[in-house]
Amino acid sequence: MMGAARSRRDPRHRGRRTLSTQTEPAARTSTALAVSNLEVVYRDVILVLRGVSLTVPEGKIVALLGANGAGKTTLLRAITGLLDIHRGKITKGSVHLDGRDITRDDASAIVRAGLGQVMEGRRIFAELSVDENLRTGAFTRRDKAGIQASYERAMDLFPVLQGRRKDTAGYLSGGEQQMVAIARALMAEPKILLLDEPSLGLAPLIVEQIRDIIVQVNQQGTSVLLVEQNATMALSIADTGYVLEHGRVVKDGPGKVLLEDKDIREFYLGMGDTGRRSFRDVKTYRRKKSWGA
């Protein structure tokens, strides 16, 4: 267990300078992921990301918030090399993983380079067992002992999956399926894990469990980029947060500061000066309100 955690804190992963233009004074932390001025277009015409820059420092949790259609999933697709299959293209900007330019790399090379992803909507193999799903997560690896160690680590993180190893994944509850999706991504021992709305559609108690697991994974040495609409959950554990709107970053700052931010409270938590708004009011408001306007 600790061995696996420690190896992912391997000093080789540290200290590499990135090409990003960050100018933190005497920055000792290195950058796990740097997205610079990224522009993405679908079908050659639909401009969805309009110059997005975002940094995930090594060992940190970064939250990315944004309303429906803001471009959150598109940003993750751009980072992970999955735009092609959606007829999307990066037209400007760059993505660096651990200081290395991965902007034009294909998806499997990006996984091999240390980036793990849990896609929107808990994409698991519904017909396969829990075990088989986990094994598919190690597709880039050949080291049997290492794979076994990762498997055991995943089972430690998700004790509820232990009794369900042979069960067909499609019959598990929503929360359990999300756990399978996260566990599968961890089987590649990523240096950085990207999660696209892991709390979506889950009961509050399960959301708490997922949040705690993200914290635990992070404490074991994995950097995290967490896309969420559940701002409370995401900002409560994030070192930094970004707000995306219409394909642009309109706000960023420390998670704790954003959690207290009036606009964010109003926009995501339905709590303005006038007290709690109804869900419907917030939805109408969401459509009307524009960040920075």
Ligand X SMILES: Nc1ncnc2c1ncn2[C@@H]1O[C@H](COP(=O)(O)OP(=O)(O)OP(=O)(O)O)[C@@H](O)[C@H]1O
The Cβ of residue 147 has, within 10 Å, a number of other Cβ atoms equal to 18
Residues with Cβ < 8 Å from 163, sequence gap 6 or more?
A: none
From candidates 21, 23, 68, 274, binder to ligand X by CB under 6 A: 68
Distance between CA atoms of 258 and 254, rounded to whole angstroms?
A: 6
The residues with which 152 forms a beta bridge, in sequence order, are none
Q: What is the smallest separation between the CB atom of 210 and ligand X, expressed in angstroms?
A: 17
Q: What is the smallest separation between the CB atom of 245 and ligand X, expressed in angstroms?
A: 9
Residues 81-140 that bind ligand X (CB under 6 A): 86-88, 120
From candidates 57, 59, 71, 190, binder to ligand X by CB under 6 A: 71
Dihedral over Cα of 269, 121, 76, 98: its sign: positive
66 scored as a contact of ligand X (CB under 6 A): yes
Q: What is the smallest separation between the CB atom of 71 and Mg ion, expressed in angstroms?
A: 8
From candidates 72, 153, 184, 191, binder to ligand X by CB under 6 A: 72
DSSP 8-state code for residue 163: T
| Nearer CB in complex with Mg ion: 120/131 | 120
Amino acid at 285: Y
| Nearer CB in complex with ligand X: 120/239 | 120
Which of these, 58, 1, 26, 105, lies nearest to 218 by C-alpha position? 58
241 scored as a contact of ligand X (CB under 6 A): no
69 scored as a contact of ligand X (CB under 6 A): yes
Q: Taking CB within 5 to 8 Å according to partner kind, which of ligand X, Mg ion, none is near residue 68?
A: ligand X
Distance between CA atoms of 263 and 266, rounded to whole angstroms?
A: 5
287 scored as a contact of ligand X (CB under 6 A): no
The H-or-E segment that residue 15 falls in is none
Q: What is the smallest separation between the CB atom of 287 and ligand X, expressed in angstroms?
A: 13
Burial class from Cβ neighbours inside 10 Å (0-12, 13-18, 19+) for residue 222 reads buried
> Among 68-76, 167-175, 179-187, 216-224, which window interacts with ligand X (CB under 6 A)?
68-76
- Phi and psi at 17, nearest 5°, equal -80, 145
Which of these, 120, 119, 118, 128, lies nearest to 170 by C-alpha position? 128
> Among 19-27, 71-79, 104-112, 268-276, which window interacts with ligand X (CB under 6 A)?
71-79
Residues forming the site for Mg ion (CB under 5 A): 72-73, 120
> Cβ-closest residue to Mg ion?
73
Which spans of this chain sit near ligand X (rule: CB under 6 A)? Answer: 42-43, 46, 48, 66, 68-74, 86-88, 120
